[in-house]
A and B are shown apart, each in its own frame.
Chain A
């Protein structure tokens, strides 16, 4: 899966959680949860959805690496390679 399709998957899932926002306007270093107003429950739902969709295991101690678009992309790419 290339970078573009990972990004599209992320946007799709974010759109489902926060339909009134356009995730493509997110800045790479912006905190996703703050920008899209996502609470703890929806944040967990997002992690569940992304790990199911991309078939990666995201342990709880790695949640910090999923905070911004840039860090999340890097984390997922590295996870999917290994």
Chain B
């Protein structure tokens, strides 16, 4: 059985209030499904589930305020289908920056449903397989099972769907009764600026107390990047135009790929992360900040990153983010933009180990090839956790970032 827990959406989150269950017992859950709406200091967040299974039972009632790590629901997963072991209640009270749902090792014996085959023969099928079959209107009497005692398991259903056999096996009657789709209501709890302020205060105090920061900075010639952006934007409609920050994010993602020790978290030791998810500081007009993540930024094109920003920034400002967008960032970028400070020295968002800051892009006299010229430059700073890395690593990162920004056409 999978214990679905209240996820931590950042170092500053202690609890949340379940506002609404979006999935009911018996519902089939797919990867990325939104299972509940939870009110947090960061707004009403859509909590996603990253597994597959059937929702067995709600353990928390709507309206309840619960600490991070509390088991909210039980979900029957594939591993529960036909097993012998007894479930073990082994639930840690705190779950840190990890996926919202974590599959437990404990397994449970689940009865195998046995509908009758047409000729009176019984069909052995696991509950999950049965649910998926029902969702796709498959006639299970026509599917041969490969599980214990010939029981149909999820793999058999998947195979059937893959091979397009659903047409052959599709039941002639029983149209699918689709459940009404949830329409988000306008009862969204917009957190008061005071709550946001408190959340920022908690995270930043913890960072300052726990993390020995070291700082590096590098002035980066931004002329090639600006030229590239100018040309790129000429070809794009106004809706598709790129901002310099899209290029910066892509360059940071590539530099992190070169220097993976900075794409990590510190939890009594350095733990590198496989995905490069860039948290991006969005300031709110009413004060405070939000940190939505651009997931897998290294695999996106510059246009792809701009598209994500166009989606994320307005949602962050409207307090309508999803759990994965708040909990999965592995590194943070803060960018001052036009008309602001020349440099910004960031405060690391724990348990991450680094934050890069881009100041305003501005013209400065710089020396290149023995000549003084006036060029657009950007002062880039890195604040990094000295427990996790040393200056040499940080320096390598800034050098790598510079290299990518000098070759924007390759980003």
Distance between A59 CB and nearest chain B CB, rounded to angstroms: 7
Contact across chains for B309 and A41 when beta carbons are under 8 A apart: yes
Distance between B116 CB and nearest chain A CB, rounded to angstroms: 60
Contact across chains for B234 and A59 when beta carbons are under 8 A apart: yes
Task: List chain B residues, Cβ under 8 A from A51.
Answer: 238
* Complex-state Cα separation, A57 to B239, whole angstroms: 11
Contact across chains for A40 and B233 when beta carbons are under 8 A apart: no
Task: List chain B residues, Cβ under 8 A from A43.
Answer: 338
Q: Given the known A-B contacts A59-B234, A60-B234, are A40 and B338 also in contact in the complex, defined by CB atoms under 8 Å?
A: yes
Contact across chains for A41 and B243 when beta carbons are under 8 A apart: yes
Interface centre among A18, A34, A48 (most CB of B within 10 A): A48
Task: List chain A residues, Cβ under 8 A from B239.
Answer: 48
| A6 in the interface (beta carbon within 8 A) | no
- Contacting residue for B283 out of A39, A48, A59, CB 8 A: A39
Q: Given the known A-B contacts A40-B243, A40-B338, A60-B241, are A18 and B234 also in contact in the complex, defined by CB atoms under 8 Å?
A: no
* Complex-state Cα separation, A25 to B285, whole angstroms: 19
Contact across chains for A34 and B339 when beta carbons are under 8 A apart: yes
User: What's the dominant secondary structure at chain B's contact region?
Assistant: helix
Q: Which of chain B's residues has its CB closest to A41's CB?
A: B313
As a 0/1 sequence over residues 324 to 352 of chain B, the CB contacts with chain A under 8 angstroms (1 = contact) are 00000000000001110000000000000
Contact across chains for B285 and A20 when beta carbons are under 8 A apart: yes
* Complex-state Cα separation, A59 to B241, whole angstroms: 10
Contact across chains for B238 and A48 when beta carbons are under 8 A apart: yes
As a 0/1 sequence over residues 13 to 26 of chain A, the CB contacts with chain B under 8 angstroms (1 = contact) are 00000111000000
| B28 in the interface (beta carbon within 8 A) | no
Distance between A16 CB and nearest chain B CB, rounded to angstroms: 11
Task: List chain A residues, Cβ under 8 A from B337.
Answer: 39-41
Interface residue tally for chain B (C-beta within 8 Å): 18
Interface residue tally for chain A (C-beta within 8 Å): 21
As a 0/1 sequence over residues 229 to 261 of chain B, the CB contacts with chain A under 8 angstroms (1 = contact) are 010011000110101110000000000000000
Contact across chains for A57 and B238 when beta carbons are under 8 A apart: yes
- Contacting residue for A47 out of B230, B238, B245, CB 8 A: B238
| A37 in the interface (beta carbon within 8 A) | yes
Task: List chain A residues, Cβ under 8 A from B244.
Answer: 40
Q: Which of chain A's residues has its CB closest to B232's CB?
A: A60
| A7 in the interface (beta carbon within 8 A) | no
* Complex-state Cα separation, A9 to B244, whole angstroms: 28
As a 0/1 sequence over residues 279 to 291 of chain B, the CB contacts with chain A under 8 angstroms (1 = contact) are 0000101100000
* Complex-state Cα separation, A41 to B338, whole angstroms: 10
Distance between A38 CB and nearest chain B CB, rounded to angstroms: 9
Distance between A39 CB and nearest chain B CB, rounded to angstroms: 5
| A58 in the interface (beta carbon within 8 A) | yes
As a 0/1 sequence over residues 41 to 67 of chain A, the CB contacts with chain B under 8 angstroms (1 = contact) are 101110110011000011111000000
* Complex-state Cα separation, A59 to B337, whole angstroms: 20
Contact across chains for B285 and A37 when beta carbons are under 8 A apart: yes
| A33 in the interface (beta carbon within 8 A) | yes
Distance between A32 CB and nearest chain B CB, rounded to angstroms: 11
Task: List chain A residues, Cβ under 8 A from B309.
Answer: 41
Task: List chain B residues, Cβ under 8 A from A34.
Answer: 339
Task: List chain B residues, Cβ under 8 A from A61.
Answer: 230
Interface centre among B234, B309, B314, B339 (most CB of A within 10 A): B339
Task: List chain B residues, Cβ under 8 A from A48.
Answer: 238-239
* Complex-state Cα separation, A41 to B306, whole angstroms: 10
Distance between A13 CB and nearest chain B CB, rounded to angstroms: 14
26 A-B residue pairings within 8 Å (CB atoms) = A18-B285, A20-B285, A20-B286, A33-B339, A37-B285, A39-B283, A39-B337, A39-B338, A40-B244, A40-B245, A40-B337, A40-B338, A41-B245, A41-B313, A41-B337, A44-B243, A45-B314, A47-B238, A48-B238, A52-B238, A59-B234, A60-B230, A60-B233, A60-B234, A60-B241, A61-B230
Q: Contact residues of A with B, CB < 8 Å?
A: 18-20, 33-34, 37, 39-41, 43-45, 47-48, 51-52, 57-61
Known: A18-B285, A20-B285, A20-B286. 5 other contacts (CB 8 A): A19-B285, A33-B338, A39-B337, A40-B243, A41-B243
The 6 closest A-B CB pairs, nearest first, are A40-B337, A60-B233, A51-B238, A48-B238, A39-B337, A40-B338
